[in-house]
């Protein structure tokens, strides 16, 4: 059923498929829909097994038309796949400076065994069909967390960043984790890196350092995340993150990681 469909993920949702072709074109050829672009992309989606797109998400791109995510190079919309069901569909913007989404898709496939990124079902130059991660962003999860779970959130996020470092994937924009990380079903133990558009292979990835820099920056700048941490603890985290960045051996980095984790758990 296309209308009033109830989706069971982490919660119950009610939404409608986008059936009007003009509205479909506004999504598929965002931000400037063109007839040639729309017909070509619709044909590719049919070949990929996409049956419907849904107006769903917190971002409104125009009146009555919602999407899950919107960035400089792509938007993400909820879709129905004929084989795997509900998926996230990443659509390359027609004004994007990126020529293709294929590199990001390959990065996601490389990281798939970590269970820290969405599973990939198909991809082309203009589309990535992937698992939809239903949950809260880091900012929303922190806003609803008690003090002890807050520490767990930070630790799990840093451990996840270490796993990507370990396999050589470096995400430049992970220094803004609120836009990059979703916790599935609001579970602090299940962080997912949902956007690898800025990722590259590197012999010296520094995701852990970037995550810590972000947490420290928020702590110093706004006092929202860590009101009780204290300057001494924050200074120790900065020093440890610098040591981590300079170290190349995995075992040395793992030891520093444990010190970072202990430092966080020891915070008031």
Cα–Cα distance measured from residue 105 to residue 28, given in angstroms and rounded to the nearest whole number: 18
CB neighbour burial string for 136-145, b if at least 16 within 10 angstroms, e if fewer? bbbeebbeeb
Residues 113-155 have pLDDT tens digits of: 999 999 999 999 999 999 999 998 888 887 776 655 778 889 9
- Listed in order, strand segments (DSSP E) in 111-177 are 120-123, 127-130, 135-137, 169-171
- The SS3 call for residue 35 is helix
| Domain parsing of the chain, residue ranges | 5-130, 135-265
Residues in the chain: 268
For the chain, counts of helices (H) and of strands (E): 9, 15
Cα–Cα distance measured from residue 88 to residue 57, given in angstroms and rounded to the nearest whole number: 11
End-to-end CA distance of the chain: 52
Cα–Cα distance measured from residue 121 to residue 131, given in angstroms and rounded to the nearest whole number: 8
Residues 9-68 have pLDDT tens digits of: 687 787 789 999 999 999 999 999 887 899 999 999 999 999 999 999 989 998 889 999
pTM: 0.90
Q: Which residues contact 200 (CB under 8 A, 6 or more apart)?
A: 107, 169, 170, 172
Cα–Cα distance measured from residue 61 to residue 78, given in angstroms and rounded to the nearest whole number: 14
CB 94 within 8 Å of CB 101: no
Cα–Cα distance measured from residue 70 to residue 77, given in angstroms and rounded to the nearest whole number: 9
């Amino acid at each position: 059923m296309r209308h009033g469909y109830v989706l069971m993920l982490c919660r119950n949702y009610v939404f409608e498929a986008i059936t009007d072709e003009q509205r479909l074109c506004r999504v598929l050829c965002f931000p400037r829909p063109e007839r040639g672009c729309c017909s070509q992309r619709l044909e590719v989606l049919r070949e990929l097994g996409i049956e419907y797109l849904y107006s769903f998400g917190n971002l409104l791109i125009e009146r009555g038309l919602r999407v899950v995510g919107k960035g400089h190079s792509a938007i993400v919309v909820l879709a129905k796949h004929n084989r795997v069901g509900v998926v996230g569909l990443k659509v390359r913007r027609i004004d994007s400076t990126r020529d293709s989404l294929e590199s990001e898709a390959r990065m996601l496939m490389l990281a798939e065994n970590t269970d820290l990124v969405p599973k990939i079902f198909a991809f082309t130059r203009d589309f990535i069909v992937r698992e939809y991660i239903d949950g809260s962003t880091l900012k929303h999860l922190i806003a609803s967390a008690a003090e002890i779970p807050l520490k767990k959130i930070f630790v799990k996020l840093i451990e996840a960043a270490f796993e990507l470092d370990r396999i050589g994937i470096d995400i430049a924009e992970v220094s803004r984790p609120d836009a990059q990380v979703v916790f599935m079903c609001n579970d602090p133990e299940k962080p997912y890196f949902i956007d690898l558009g800025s990722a590259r292979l590197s012999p010296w990835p520094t995701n852990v350092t970037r995550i810590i820099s972000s947490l420290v920056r928020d702590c110093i700048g706004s006092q929202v995340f860590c009101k009780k941490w204290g300057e001494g603890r924050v200074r120790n985290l900065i020093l440890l993150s610098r040591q981590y960045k300079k170290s190349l051996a995995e075992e040395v980095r793992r030891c520093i990681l444990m010190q970072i984790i202990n430092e966080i758990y020891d915070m008031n």
